[in-house]
Structure 1
């Protein structure tokens, strides 16, 4: 099933808003960026926004199985008949492959496809330029915030280095595209 943005918003709200209000603030801000970007993205615009709404549902207590939120979220979405494309975008969002290696679930990601498209890069951009409470941050400040929040020994921090080149490339490709369509100052 293709998930409409409004349905995705309601679904994410039901899973995250009360249980994890700070995470919900992050998701709202990521989805707002995706909505603005989606207006210029064409056919994938609504898909980007819908995916932004559900990208962190794997943090919800009711969806956790492995404790690795991209995988848990993607599996949850598939189990509820959401399209494989959306589930795959969730599974691989923001260099999740590097985190999966550190967490020990990299082989589980073979269930999903990392599509390596502009839509994927833009989802990463929206996520990696939004703080945990929904504040707008530039990419480098967001990466610094993640390191400080998790500390030096956490798998997320260790994975930053392993996935930094891929993260940075996705953000730069996104910035280039945003400038080309006149959105660089809007998101």
Structure 2
């Protein structure tokens, strides 16, 4: 996997009100031979990126959603993406032939100790089972480290075996078990 040099998103602006058009990070090949381009974004996403992600999320079925995310309707999706920008979230958008295949986000969280972020990752159904989530997760960890994230945590439904398996492969530990879900955590310091 080759990497470009990291660049500052938001056209060098530190304001969270600027739109992020994204900075190219890397290209990877999934298990079906498709070339995927990964871009990093910080804060508010550019309108075109929001439009593309909204279209991707509108194609998700109920079985592709977890804990109410992504929202079911276009307005809800757009509002959710806008709220992520207000939290100065770090996004990765994975594209195949300019069409979104996955979206991952690290959302800063003041409720957890240190520089912790909540992680969310969504892979379009047409790209599931081809290691797109694996490539995205690896790149998201690198992106988090570059942005001084120390710890990532997430909630995952116990019934989502592929996701639980992915997180366990990446050294997430269950820190809280609830009747229907796990809260899992992983430190980013020092490795893959």
- TM-score, with normalisation over the residues of structure 1? 0.36
Higher helix share: 1
Using structure 2 for the length normalisation, give the TM-score: 0.35
Bigger proportion of residues as strand: 2
